[in-house]
Amino acid sequence: MPRCHNCEGFVTEDYVRVFAPDDMASVRVCPNCEDKLRDGAEIREARSTRGN
């Protein structure tokens, strides 16, 4: 079962297939991460929190 490298949250295999680089079996950041986000092919710190 794939997990996010940043928050250890569950991600689906389809999510990994679409958003992870070809040589990775999991993603570096997922939609559940509050402190980081994807910016194209890069990962950056979030400018504001996305939490509830």
- Could you tell me if 30 and 15 are in contact, meaning their C-beta atoms sit under 8 angstroms apart? yes
Q: Residue 52: pLDDT above 60? A: no
Q: What is the pLDDT of residue 13?
A: 94
* Cα–Cα nearest to 30, from 16, 17, 40: 16
* Cα–Cα nearest to 16, from 7, 3, 6: 3
Average pLDDT estimate for 4-28: 91
- For the entire predicted model, the pTM comes to 0.71
DSSP 8-state assignment for residue 36: E
